[in-house]
Structure 1
Amino acid sequence: MPTADSQLAGLGDQARALQPRTVALRRALHRHPELGLDLPRTRDAVLAELADLPLQIHLGRTVSSVVAVLEGARPGPTVLLRGDMDALPLHEETPLAFRSEIDGAMHACGHDTHVAMLASAARLLARRREQLSGRVLLMFQPGEEGHHGARYMIDEGLLAKAGPAGTPEAAYALHISATLPVGELHTRPGPIMAAADVLRVMVTGRGGHASAPHDARDPVPAAAAMVGALQTMLSRRVDAHQPAVLTIAHITAGTTNNIIPETAFLEGTLRTMAEPVRALVHDEIHRVCRHTALAYDCVADVQIEPGYPVTVNDHDAAGRVGELGARVLGRRRVATMPNPIMGAEDFSYVLRQVPGALAFLGACPPGVNPESAAPNHSNRVLFDESAMVGGVAMYAGLALDALR
């Protein structure tokens, strides 16, 4: 049986040799970003890139997903590798020669790099089929940016695409980051990203003339009071050792300066790291908003839309990612995150059913301090493409290590 080190020998050089191809696919996707669950152009670009490889291809029925299965030379387990494909609704403001040609859409979270890295890793692994005891399930996923694409793929049978005996025993995903030093790999065991829910509150009073507020029931001060009351609720009702963030980011009321409106609307996001805390805060949001509205003789209709669950890395899988990163990228380039981050990820749906791990790959642009770099989701974000060499090697290495 090959040793772990012999399995990984030459991975970096092979990923570097594939870099022109990786960059070309990334730039083609960057020029033509697509949003949500329907990504026909992106799907077709992935299919074209994989067309000459010995893969079993499965297309999504309700979403533009691509699942590719690479069978190894001998029987064995299945490992899943994920690359998300969708962009964000932003107008790009970067100096790139290959910037988005689609108005109002941009690959501002680096999903174009994820697709390109996973496609090149598939090519690298296909060349090493003789070293694989088992199979690789390549998950090209739409709709990560709030559209629950991973859940759709699971509902369509993602985890059974490799056959009854091919249910994945491990699952891995990389996420590029513009605010980490290029080539560094950061991960942690346990919770790594938060659950994310959307709250919407419609406060209804009675409209009237702004000169006579006593004749109206003004919803604006009620809505304003809710913003402060919700923050007080977090500090008074949630254990200080439990992370929870509640941000009201959207408030709308009124049409002009001398009319008290009938309604005021608030919208925000809740981020939590534990399901009991999530449930508690849901109850508290309803209670605080309804009773605050009553104090102003108004009523509040509170709606909470559940989003992604907490992304939880399996302890052993996160350890394997760190160990592999040390061998592939260098020990000084691997770091254990001291704390999770409050962003959310729908790879959480996969990790609820398959032990695995998510890790962040640094791609801060040259000459830029990571602390001041434009972050993911900025319309000015830039990624150092040289980081993709390490990403390709890591994706391939995770499969080789699991299936040796």
Structure 2
Amino acid sequence: MERSGTATSTDTIVAAVLDRAAEQGIDPAWLKDEVVEFYRDLHRYPELSGTEYRTQWAIGEALAVADVWFQECTPSGLVAVLRNGPGPVVWVRADTDALPLTEQTGLPYASTVTQELPDGSVVGVMHACGHDVHTAALVGCLRQLDRERDGWSGTVVGIFQPAEETGRGALAMLDELLNGEPAEHVPRPDVVYAQHVTSAPLGRVVCRPGWFLSHQRSWRVTVQGRGGHASRPHLARDPIVAAASMVGTLQTVVSRAVDPFRMAVLTVGTFHAGTKENIIPAEAVFTVSARTYEPEVSQVVEETMRRILEGEAAAHGVSIRIEEVSDIPACYNDPAATSQVADALTGVFGDDVVAPPDPFPAADDFCHYARVLGVPAVIWNFGVQAAELFDGDEPPPRNHDARFAPHPEHAVTLGVVAATRAVTNYLRS
């Protein structure tokens, strides 16, 4: 497909996908304006993990025009069931939460929302990972399937899951769907799907069998020292110096403890200490995130991290407390189910459906659906940015960047096409 060189390359790419979709009976053009406007509303009013109440309400409003049964599920999630005669059951998951970032896209529908965190601090809130695209695309998919009932048979369950970013949303949804009030209305699935945006050109779809996303673990490290006056440091036990030394030495976990032929990433993402320049605080707190694929590598990373932290604490005369914040297993795409999805997506996205040789070091709690339900699961990525943005020397911003901006129209439209094509292909087979 054309990638660059003309001002119409993005339009050409998208038009080719939509033409192939229309030939196969999938035509989201009639609802494009409504779904895109719904997406912009979600983007303008994002909500942090576990507080997605307005989003929950907006999803219900958007589904109310279709013949879909839906119900609130967990405090801020929602489940929707579209029945269309006998046949298999497909669950499709969309995550709904946003991130604590102040948006810098300059979009006319940019978020200006702020929220208070549990510690009392106030942060900007932004959909910087495309969960608004996922949510709008799944709403569009359900409405499209409702409109085209003659082309498929079975049941589609839309899972609008909160709190993916904390790694706890999937398990909460599963617990309520299997054991709570919705259980009597929601049939068990034969397969579970999810899609996720990525910083790639519109039209690009990434679908890989086997390990697709990494195992992610994170910890909060509290360094307890002894406070004092900045002019008398010898009477204190400075937790900032100790914590800074820990952060520096942790960079050797991957470079010196992990086999170079194995994948591991370790990042210190937050560091907080002190209130004033002339006060040595009593406490410093930082967080650590690790990504791996293989269980034995994960074990090496954790053991080395703990040994470094305990050794540095002893050297500086401070104490530490290590608390696990999240533990999200790697996502495994069932090979047979993935092949079926890839064939379906190739039918509309053409040669731009690719299978990378290696998995990605991102994480997603979608992994729990296959593990808990014991059924095949597939998650794929789709590009959401204009092809022209990749012509320059610098690539466009990626997920979790305050400048990340999916194409305002085409991203959602192609998300509807991808989800609809994957589902109808399964329910026609």
Q: TM-score range by the shorter chain?
A: 0.7 to 0.9
1:132 matches 2:152: yes
Q: Contact 1:79 / 1:168 at 8 angstroms: preserved in 2?
A: yes
Map of 1:65 onto structure 2: 77
Q: SS state of the match for residue 94, structure 1?
A: coil
Map of 2:357 onto structure 1: 338
Map of 1:400 onto structure 2: 424
Q: SS state of the match for residue 397, structure 2?
A: coil
Q: Determine the C-alpha separation between the residues in 1 that align with 2:26 and 2:190.
A: 28
Q: Contact 2:81 / 2:186 at 8 angstroms: preserved in 1?
A: no
Percent of aligned positions that are identical: 38
Map of 2:197 onto structure 1: 176
CA 1:66–1:396 in 2, change beyond 3 Å: closer, same or farther?
A: same
After superposition, where does 1:45-124 map in structure 2 within 5 Å? 45-60=58-73, 62-73=74-85, 75-103=86-114, 104-124=124-144
Q: Contact 1:200 / 1:303 at 8 angstroms: preserved in 2?
A: yes
* TM-score, structure 1 normalization: 0.88
1:36 matches 2:49: yes
CA 1:158–1:82 in 2, change beyond 3 Å: closer, same or farther?
A: farther
**CA deviation profile, 1:281-322 (whole Å, cap 9, x unmatched):** 223322221122112333322222233221221122222222
Q: SS state of the match for residue 269, structure 1?
A: strand
Q: Determine the C-alpha separation between the residues in 2 that align with 1:304 and 1:259.
A: 29
Q: Determine the C-alpha separation between the residues in 2 that align with 1:366 and 1:378.
A: 19
> What one-letter code is carried by the residue in structure 2 that aligns with 1:289?
L
Q: Determine the C-alpha separation between the residues in 2 that align with 1:123 and 1:286.
A: 50
1:21 matches 2:40: no
Q: Contact 2:166 / 2:326 at 8 angstroms: preserved in 1?
A: no
Q: Determine the C-alpha separation between the residues in 1 that align with 2:179 and 2:228.
A: 58
1:366 deviates by 5.4
CA 1:159–1:389 in 2, change beyond 3 Å: closer, same or farther?
A: farther
Q: Determine the C-alpha separation between the residues in 2 that align with 1:165 and 1:383.
A: 32
1:351 deviates by 3.0
1:198 deviates by 2.2
Gaps of 5+ in 1: 1-6
Q: Determine the C-alpha separation between the residues in 2 that align with 1:99 and 1:12.
A: 34
1:48 deviates by 1.7
> What one-letter code is carried by the residue in structure 2 that aligns with 1:167?
R
1:337 deviates by 2.0
Q: Determine the C-alpha separation between the residues in 1 that align with 2:41 and 2:272.
A: 39
1:373 deviates by 0.7
Q: Contact 1:313 / 1:351 at 8 angstroms: preserved in 2?
A: no
1:361 deviates by 0.9
1:128 deviates by 2.7
Q: Contact 2:133 / 2:415 at 8 angstroms: preserved in 1?
A: no
Q: SS state of the match for residue 307, structure 1?
A: strand
Q: Determine the C-alpha separation between the residues in 1 that align with 2:368 and 2:61.
A: 28
**CA deviation profile, 1:51-71 (whole Å, cap 9, x unmatched):** 1322222321x3222211111
Map of 1:4 onto structure 2: none
**CA deviation profile, 1:249-284 (whole Å, cap 9, x unmatched):** 333444555655444333221222233332332233
1:268 matches 2:268: no
1:350 matches 2:369: yes
Map of 2:414 onto structure 1: 390
Q: CA RMSD in A?
A: 2.7
Q: Contact 1:79 / 1:137 at 8 angstroms: preserved in 2?
A: yes
Q: Determine the C-alpha separation between the residues in 2 that align with 1:260 and 1:31.
A: 41
Map of 2:388 onto structure 1: 367
Q: SS state of the match for residue 173, structure 1?
A: strand
Map of 2:15 onto structure 1: none
**CA deviation profile, 1:81-132 (whole Å, cap 9, x unmatched):** 1122222222222232222252422222222221211111111211232333
Q: SS state of the match for residue 106, structure 1?
A: coil
2:205 aligned to 185, 198, 205, which one? 185
1:26 deviates by 0.8
Q: Determine the C-alpha separation between the residues in 2 that align with 1:165 and 1:34.
A: 26
Q: Determine the C-alpha separation between the residues in 2 that align with 1:163 and 1:8.
A: 35
Aligned residues: 394
CA 1:258–1:58 in 2, change beyond 3 Å: closer, same or farther?
A: closer
Q: Contact 1:12 / 1:328 at 8 angstroms: preserved in 2?
A: no
